[in-house]
Each structure stands twice: as C-alpha cells, then as structure tokens.
Structure 1
Amino acid sequence: MQIFTIILCAAVLIATALPFINSAAWWIRIFDFPRTQIAFLILVAIILAYIFLDFKWAYKLLLLLVLSASLLYQLRFVLVYMPFYKTQAKDSTNHSSETSFSLLVSNVRMESDHKERLNMLVKKYDPDILLLTEPNYDWAASISKLDENFPYAIKHPLENTYGMMLLSKLPLTESSVNFLVKDDVPSFFSKITLPSGTKIDFYGVHPQPPQPGSDTYERDTELLIIGRKIRESNNPTIVAGDLNDVGWSVTSKLFRKYSELVDPREGRGLFNTYNVFVPLLRYPLDHIFYSSEFGLTTLKKLEDIGSDHFPLLIGLNFEPEEDNTEDIEKPDADEKAEVEEKIENGKKESAEE
C-alpha cells in the first residue's frame, strides 16, 4: 500500500504542477479540465499518506502540507461555481416579452442515431434560438423538420464533427460563416433582432479540443480573435457553443476578461455538460457567455438526448438600463498585450501546419 500511496502522491502533484507551464501543448492543457477529480484524488492521497507512509515525521508532515496546499489550489478553481459563492451575472429584474428570449445549445454528437430525441427536446422547451454543434448532413436532414418553427437559419453541416447550425425564430441579419484559424473549423456570427427591435451580436463557436496530436493554440486563438471583435464593437453580445474548454482555464478567463463577458454559472453551479457516458469525468464544456446588458431568467442543464453532451438552456432579458453584473473584471495593459501576442502566435502556428 505504501508504494501505491507514493505513486498516487506523485501523480496528483504532477497533475497539479503541469498547468503552471505556459504552453499550448495538449498534454499540459488537458490537466486544466479535471480540477474537481484531481482535488478528490489529492484528498485520498492525504488520507493514505497519513495512514500508510512510513516516513520520518518531518518528511511526512512536509508532504502532507504540500498535498494540502495542492488541494486548496485545485478547489479555488471550482469554488466560484458553488451556490454559496456570489453570482457574477445577475437575475433579470424586468422580464418583458419584447426583450426576453431563450437559447438552447446542444452538441448533438455527429455519430448519434438518436436524432428524434433532439427534435422532441426542442418541441418540449420551445427555445427562440437553437445552436447545434457537430451536425453532419444526416443531422441536417433530420433537423429540417424544425424549419417551419425556425424561419431564420445559418446551416453549415460538416462530416468532421465541426459542423454547426443556428436556427432562430428571431430575425438574423449580417450573418456569416467564418474560418478564423482553420479552414475546416467554422464559427458563426449574426445579429439577432429582438421583438423590441434591438439588435444583439451573436457568436457561435466550436473550436478544437486539446487531444493527442492537437494542441490548444487553435482553440485559444479562435476565442481570443472573437474576444477582440467583441471589444472593438462594444455591442450587446452573446457567445455560445461547445468551447472545448472549462470556464476556469487560463484562456477562458482571459477571453471573458478581455471581452468583458460574464459566466452565468458562477455562484449557481457547474452545470457539467460533458461527458454524459462517464459520470465521474464530467466537465462544463458547453458555454453561454454574455455582456452586461442582459439579465438572467433561466439556466438549466437538460436531459440526455443520446449525445455525449447534455444540452444547455438559458433565458435572458435585454435590460441595458440595469446593472446586471457584479465586479466584472477588466483587462490590464499586460493582459491586453498577452491577447494580441497569443493571437499572432496562434496564426503563425496555424499557417505553419
């Protein structure tokens, strides 16, 4: 048991230390994801080390202190999402049919054969806007049943798991399918017109995840390019999709800080959307970030539809006269420079592929 405990202690300390390295390498950035799981394993390591390690007390105490510090470090990433923590995005104070709308985001899993379950889900919750990631042409054919209820759409199905579709009951204008970093990974932009006549900017995204053979510079660059567009426009904005990143990662936090968007999960829960099939390894990968002009009316993780992601439903109300954020962070000069540097480096890396 002592050998197992030593191996476990070494593993959790390495997993905690690796993300400190400022690198886009997949084998480093992958440890940004399982903060809660690593924290649990550290707790197990502390208990086992106290009971089974036959070290001199001074060395044992030092190890226990290092493990305890690592546990606190891991927990700090997820504590902001606990219900006892203050919310950054405020609840709506002025709900109106002219300014309120709902958005359903779902990664459908391209290989899934449960296409009718999505159609039933959409009929059940009846969102005003529907963003789907991973649809291919088979999915597009199935989803066409919804066209009557969603007269406005951007459809770009692909067979590489990076297809996207945006369906809307609200008018879409100035719509575009963009390839910001890679030629086969699209993102969407559109202006959505609310019943009140107000136009809001909408970005739909699904960048590549960190995985063997694929580092994170493409994902990071795409998000930061969108962040720069948001900052330059200063318009009411929503960014949604499968970001293949957790809200507490360095890039995600830098993106939100630079674009001055809020995460409605903070103070409300993790709302883990991936992986449906592995309950012990679930992370919040699907996100809906938005600017301070919106108040929150609803935030729900929906039921399983046969995908490896749970759908996410949000209700928002456009109320620019209200202060709907608390302590929203703003970037300093160094962080602004970091964004520009990461964008340029990411473009160079992509061009060299």
Structure 2
Amino acid sequence: MLTAFNLFVVILFGVLVVGSLLPLSSSPHWFIRGWDYPRVQIVAIAIVAIVAFLAVNVVVGRPNRVAFSVMIGLALLIAGWHLFRILPYTPLMPTQAKAWNPPADAVESDPHRLRVLISNVEMENDQFTRWKHVMGDCDADVVIVAEVDERWQATLEELKSAYPHQIIYPQDNWYGLAMISRLPIIDSELRFLVQDDVPSIDAMIEMPSGDRVRVVGVHPRPPEPIRDNDATARDAELVLWGEELAKDNQPIVIGGDLNDVAWSQSTRLFLRLSELLDPRRGRGFFNSFHADRRWMRFPLDHVFHSTHFTIRDMKRLEHVGSDHFPIFIDLQLEPAAKEDQEPLDKKASDAGEADERIDRAEEDLGLDVESVREATTE
C-alpha cells in the first residue's frame, strides 16, 4: 500500500512538473494555455502532496533520505516557479499603480474621479434584480457588461434614468457586450478586431472636470476544450489593442472579461505593448471566476489603465448569480502621478512574440491585420 501511495505521489509530481513547463510553449492549444490558470492551486497541491508523502512514510517507519530529498526538491521547485509568477499580485509586493493620496480638502464628488464596474453577467443568468442591486450599491460611473443578450438588454435599458448613455450590442452567443454610463459618451465605435461575432466597445467619455477618457470594453473568446477553441483569437486581440493603445497619449481605461489570468504570457505581453498599468499588482488576486467554485477561482476580469490615474479603491463585489464576480475600481485622474508610475519593462522579444500571435491569427482565422491597423489610424 505504501508503494502504491508513493507511486501516486511521484506520478502527481510528474504531472505538475510537465504542466508547469507547458505554458513556456508558444502553442495556442487550450490544453497548454490552460495550465496558465491554476498556479495558486498547483502550489497548494504541491504543498499538500509533499506533506502527505513525508507524513505517511514517517508513520509507516520507512523513511528514505534520498527519496525525501528528491521529493522535497521537486516540491520546492514547483512551488517556487509558480510563486515567482503570482507573488507580484499579492500585497507582499509593491504596487504598480499607486494609491491616491487625497488632499486635506478632498470631497466625495471630486470631478476627477472615475468609478468603473466590470461585470460578466453570464447570459443564462436570470437574477436581474440581484445584479441591479449590487451594481447600484457600488455607484459606478461607467459599467462594462459582458454576455449581454436581449433579456439583459432590457434590464440595462431599465436603468436609463441613472445611465442615460448606453451602447448595447446583444447576442445569443455569449459575446454580447454593453457599456452604460451616467457620464456623457462623446464618441463611440463598435469594433470587431479579430472575429465578426466578438465585439469590443471603444468610447470617449467626458468626466465632470471636462477631461476626456478613452474607455474600452472587451471580451475576447477564450481557449477552452468544449468547443475546441485555442488562444489564437484572444492573443491576437490583446496584441492589437496593446499596439493601438500605446500610440494614444490620452487617459485610457480598458476592461472586461479577458478570459486570461493576470500572470499569463498574453496578458503580460499586452501590458508591455500598451504601457498600461495593472492595479492588481501589489494589491491582490481579486479572483472573479468561478463564483460558485471556491477551489477553481482565477483573476479573469480585468481593468487596466494609463499612468494618468491613481487608485482610490478596488474590490470584488458580491455574487450576482453569474459565474463571474463583478470587479469595481475607483480611479482618480491625476496626471502629475505619471512620473511615479512605471509600466512593465519592455523585452527585446516583445515584437517577435506579438508578430507570432498576429501571423497565427492571419493564417488560422483569415485575419486581415493590415486593414485592422489601418482602421486604427483613421
């Protein structure tokens, strides 16, 4: 029995090692990209497994120093590798986006304040009243809503008295998208950067101060096994947005369900390309999915912003019946803080990685990248 248990632990560690190395590949296959997600869970499994291995062998009375050393070494390597990736998103590390330092005369109705809510409502979810209650409590200025169908469109339209400015594109394919705002939307465009059935919303919003902020809502298609989707479309969309937003020097906020974790290759590449900030760094995971499964939670819903903003507050909101928790961020437009906030350092390999993702989308999806890029310069 001891031999069978030890064999199970050895096989488990072998799987964890292979799974830990797979995301180093540039392959977009869902099985490979999926190993980017459960880094916290892998650390926990490695710790539990090594403790169980040591305890069982000691209790049985057949300790083997060589086996112990090898297994402890593997556990440390596995845990250390994943902690290296996830620690920047914990309060143990310094923040990337700085906290707002309010002056003595600060007021609640500061005209430079921008509150944004990101919410994947889950198309099948019918708890409309519950969602409206949670959304109303957070008092957001702009709400980006993913998985909007005609039923959710009707719910959003009921909020027109509070959110008179609305861009709603309902679909029954889980990729309907909406942006509702109580601040004026000066200009907007529905964008289809990669796929004809996956929209983004690109809007210019005027704050009470008169400043204008470019707010972008996104929800790229994820890599997942049920429909055998790989990461090609998602990765290409993130690259295209990263390249475009890097050319824009005005205040920017982009958010939505990215179907990607904060520490993945694709998200980190997007941040290096766009030169935007990730407010999660130094603050916490803010795991937004899966709302009903504590053991399978990942940070999939994101808000990134330019260095024009500092952070008043950021939090995950209550359950709204969806498989995603809403994510709320309270921003302060503070252009003077630009000098104190550093985007991720660019890498020499960034251009090559971006080109590889774009080339793959051109080949696999028939994407006309030059047309997309030309449209962004018009």
Specify the TM-score bucket, using the shorter chain as the normaliser: over 0.9
CA contact (8 A) 2:111 2:208 kept: yes
What is the CA-CA distance between 1:51 and the residue it aligns to? 4.3
Q: 1:87 aligns with which of 92, 95, 104?
A: 95
SS at 2:366 equivalent: helix
Retained in 1: the 8 A contact 2:98–2:311? yes
Classify the secondary structure of the residue corresponding to 2:345: coil
Alignment of 1:49 with 2:62, yes or no, is no
8 A contact 2:202–2:217 mirrored in 1:
yes
5+ residue gaps in structure 1?
Answer: none
Report Cα offsets for 1:103-139 as digits up to 9, x if no partner.
1111101001101111112222221111100010011
2:72 corresponds, among 64, 70, 74, to 64
1:160 to 135, 148, 173: 173
Q: Deviations over 1:258-293 (max 9, x none)?
A: 111111111111111100110111011000000100
- C-alpha contact (below 8 Å) 2:13/2:74 kept by paired residues: no
C-alpha separation in 2, matches of 1:290 and 1:229: 14
Alignment correspondent of 2:41: 37
- Specify the code of the residue in structure 2 equivalent to 1:247: A
Specify the alignment match of 1:331 in structure 2: 346
Alignment check: 8 A CA contact 1:181 1:222 kept: yes
Q: 1:11 deviation in Å?
A: 2.1
Please give the alpha-carbon distance, in whole angstroms, between the structure 2 residues aligned to 1:330 and 1:116: 44
Q: How is 1:1-353 mapped onto 2 (pairs within 5 angstroms)?
A: 1-52=5-56, 57-94=65-102, 97-212=110-225, 213-323=228-338, 325-351=340-366
Shift of 1:330: 3.2
How far apart are residue 8 of structure 1 and its match? 1.8
Q: Which has the higher mean CA deviation after the structures are superposed, 269-278 or 338-347?
A: 338-347
Shift of 1:88: 0.6
Kept after mapping to 2: 8 A contact 1:90/1:324:
no
Q: Structure 2: which 5+ residue stretches go unaligned? A: 368-378
Distance 1:272 1:108, change over 3 A: same
Residue identity in the other structure for 1:265: R
Q: Secondary structure at the match of 2:270?
A: helix
> Hey, what's the Cα distance between the residues in 2 that align with 1:140 and 1:315?
25
- Per-residue CA distance 1:195-221 (angstroms, 9 max, x = gap): 122111111110111101100011011
The runs of 4+ residues in structure 1 deviating greater than 4 Å are 51-56
8 A contact 1:87–1:326 mirrored in 2: no
Using the TM superposition, give the Cα deviation of residue 255 of structure 1 relative to its aligned residue in structure 2, in angstroms.
0.4
Instruction: Tell me the residue number matched to 2:371.
Output: none
| Structure 1 residue 325: Cα displacement | 4.9
TM-score by length of 2: 0.88
Letter in 1 for 2:28: A
Give the distance between the partners of 1:188 and 1:257, measured in 2 at CA: 22
The alignment of Structure 1 onto Structure 2 pairs a total of residues equal to: 352
* Change in CA separation of 1:111 and 1:324 when aligned onto 2, cut-off 3 Å: farther
CA deviation digits over 1:1-30, x for unaligned, max 9? 223222322222222122122211100000
User: Cα offset for 1:59?
Assistant: 4.9
Alpha carbons 1:202, 1:237 under 8 Å: kept? yes
**TM-score using structure 1 length:** 0.94
1:80 Cα deviation (Å)? 1.2
CA contact (8 A) 1:92 1:324 kept: no
Say what the alpha-carbon RMSD is for the aligned residues.
Answer: 1.8
SS in 1 for 2:296: coil
Q: Aligned with 2:186: secondary structure?
A: strand
Maintained 8 Å contact 1:13/1:67: no
Contact 1:107 1:311 in 2 (8 A): yes
Q: Deviations over 1:227-250 (max 9, x none)?
A: 111012232211100000111000
Q: CA–CA distance in 2 between the matches of 1:256 and 1:18?
A: 22
Stretch of structure 1 that moved more, 25-34 or 46-55? 46-55
Q: CA deviation at 1:305?
A: 0.8
**Higher CA-based Rg:** 2
